[in-house]
Each structure stands twice: as C-alpha cells, then as structure tokens.
Structure 1
Amino acid sequence: MLQKKLNIKAVICISELVPKIKVDAIKALGAKVAIVGKNQEEATYNALQMEKEEGMRYISAFDDPLIIAGQATTALEILEQNPNTTTILAPVSGGGLMSGVAFAAKALKPDIQIIGVTNNSEPAIYSSIKAGKIVQVGETESLADALPGPISHNNQYTFKMCERYVDDILLISEEQIAQAMAFSLLKEKQVLEGGGAATMALLLKDEYVQNFGENTVAICSGNSVAMDTLLKITSTHKKFINQNF
C-alpha cells in the first residue's frame, strides 16, 4: 500500500510456509516480496539485514507500538458496539493483535476477560508465558499459517503486554481448526482462514462456552485461504458439522 499510494519502497520478508494466496495479495498491493527461510525468524533476520545494508526501516509485523495501537482499535469498536461484553477471544501468534486488544479493553473495562487462542503446534507466546521468559519454538506447516512460529529474544512489547493483560491462552488442534473453517462456511456463510477460525474453534467446544458467558465476542480475523483448500476441508468435515450443529 505504501509503495502504491506514496511511492515508498516496501519489501515484505516472509518464509516459505506462507501460502501463495497471501503472497499474491501482498504483490497486488504493490509491495515486493522476499521469500527467505523456513520460518518467521529466518525471514525476520533477512529483513533486519536489509535494514542495515540498504538503509530501509524495519517494521515488525507485530512487535511495534503503532502496529499494536492499530490493532487495539478492534477492542474499542467491540466495546462501543456492545458495552456489556464480558469476554473477548482473539487469535494470538506474535501478539500484536492480542496485546493491543487486551491493553485497550482492560483500560476501558478492567474486569473484562481476555482469552487468547492459538494452535497447539509451536505456540510461541503461550510457551513463553508458561516459562516466564521468551522461549524459542519451531514453525511447522499448519492450516492456521498465521499462528505458529517463534518470537525474537529481542521482543520489546508483545510478550510483556500479553503476560500482563491476557487472562489465559487456550490451545486448539489442527482438527478443531479445520472443523471451525467448515462450520464458518456452512453455517455462518463466512470465509475464514485457519488463524481467523481459531476463536470459532474454541466456541465449538461446549466446555469452554459455558465458562465464557453470553456476552462473549470472538475476533475472527483473516480470510486469506485458497478456495480449493477451503472447499476440500469443508467437504471432509461437512457430515460432522451437519450432525453436530
């Protein structure tokens, strides 16, 4: 967008795990794409090298005050539209959305419950909070490609903010993610990528719903999924969805 509207050079460094549909979307906005490394950390290292060698400014996808502030407006909209909200569920990866939402929501309503949701494969923020320090995780291929992957030891904001303001982070499986994507399309007529369906996956489990209460808001953020992939997932899980919901 910067390159297209302001004629500012933008290079987005991503790993080999990022699906083609997202790569194409980035290119369509006018940015250049550098596909480097097998995980987010290797792509980040490449971006930092470009900053040194080419005089560009590095902007983290999540660990940046302005990114966090922008994400925080989601909580402002939620509480403006429904002041009685008691629980907000949000997907969590590097923590930009999660920390922004948690900070803003708690500032306006200190007793609100903030729950993060991530997949159970290499959950960086979850593992780090459990350990009380940033721990390194790997990054594996997932339907929720936006969720797994490491956060840097140099993390300045999101780890501490999530540790302070998020009440709990719950894990979901690949199977639950697939079911939520199918449910969203079949029952809600919504196209959601794996990361965007993470909170929906949690709501499909009765034991969690009972704890959250009626005024629960689930942030379903992201619809960048190839239609052939989504239709295949939906076809596989259609019988289960129709029988149970």
Structure 2
Amino acid sequence: MNTQSLYILVVEDQQNIAQNIAEYMENKGHVLDFATQGEQGFKLALANHYDVVILDLNLPVMSGLEVCTQLRLQASHHVPIIMLTARDSIEDKISGFTTGADDYLTKPFSLEELEVRCLALSRRHLLQTNHILTFDKLVIDRKKQLVTREEKPLELHTMGYRILTILAEAFPQVVSRSTLSQKLWGDEPTESDALRSHIYQLRNTLDKPFDYPMIKTLHGIGFVLDVKK
C-alpha cells in the first residue's frame, strides 16, 4: 500500500542514526532535511512547514527539550514533533510531553514503526487543521460533506459518507470491522450483513467507475484506504 509523501526534518547528532533514517525514509518517497544540533534544527523548523519533526533529546548547543519549548512559544503554526531518545523513564516521557512533544519513541527503534508514527502524526495534525482531505484524486470536504474523485461529484448515501470519512481519518491505519461497526452504530445491535451491504454500495460509487479500487479489504482484519500516490 502506497502512502503520502512527507516533508520531514530530522534533528539528530548521531550520524549513523540520521543516515539510517534517511535511507529508509527516502526509499519510501519522503523528503528530508537534517540538522545536527539543536539551534540549527530550531531555525529550520521555524522557517519551513514540515509535516513532522523528528527531534533527538540529547543535542549539542540547544537540547531537544529546549528546541521543543521554543518552537511552541515562537512558531506561528503547530509543528508536529516526535521525540527520539534513549531515555525511556516515565519522568523523561513526561518532560517531553510537557514541553509540547506530540509523540515519543525510544532508541533502539524500528524504522518501520517510525514511519508509521510519522504518517499517523501528520494525518492527525491535518485532520485538526484542515476540513478538506485529499487522497490521490479523491477529495473529501468535511465542512460541506461533499466527495469528489477525479473532479467528479460522488453521490454517497449518509452511511457511505460516514464509512469513507472513518477510513480517511484513520489512514494509513486499518480499521477493523468491529471498530467500524462501533463508530457507525455504537452499542446498538445491527444485522450482520448491514456493514457488508453499505461497503458494497460505497464501492459501487467510489471504486467501480474508476481506474483502481480505493477501499481495500484485509481479510480477517478490516478495511483501509489504498492510495496509489
């Protein structure tokens, strides 16, 4: 499954870690900037609109905590920050979140997990700041409750729109059948075929007339938006 390309700032003074992140992320199509000390990273984060800043805690010149604190005080927009550190105590995590970090990942870490967290944080930030969600040529205007694909308006029933919005807001994560049912109907019981029927109708409108299907079923797991670009 392809995901969107992110513009990421990595503030890390250990060259081998920065290089590993660079190789993995750039192979996934993301664009990266780098800083090796805190003040440099702070200036870059102020000057550019990054989707995510990966910020080490132990940095020369200006610590990661100080960078985070100053960004929250001085940046004109919210800068999504993942703190990357070898410190894994509860006190360290509390310090990170208290200064304004959005997420926290301890070393050693999985590069795959780092990417997933970056994607999730970027998506969460987008959902908080923008009522228009774009996936390839699919556009969801949550304010007007309008959906278009390849600039063609889609006539979705209320339930189809709700299902599509739930999948879009969760992207790139998979939404299980039980989670989807819970969000649609709460604790009210519904017929076992109801969800299948709504998904079928949504696919007829969203997928059938176009080049590729965007609703992907992961059997035994759930549903996810499949975005080619």
Query: Where is the helix percentage greater, Structure 1 or Structure 2?
Result: 1
Q: Which has the higher contact order (CA 8 A, sep 6+)?
A: 1
The structure whose residues are more often strand, as a share, is: 2
TM-score normalised by structure 2 residue count: 0.27
Choose 1 or 2 for highest CA Rg. Answer: 2
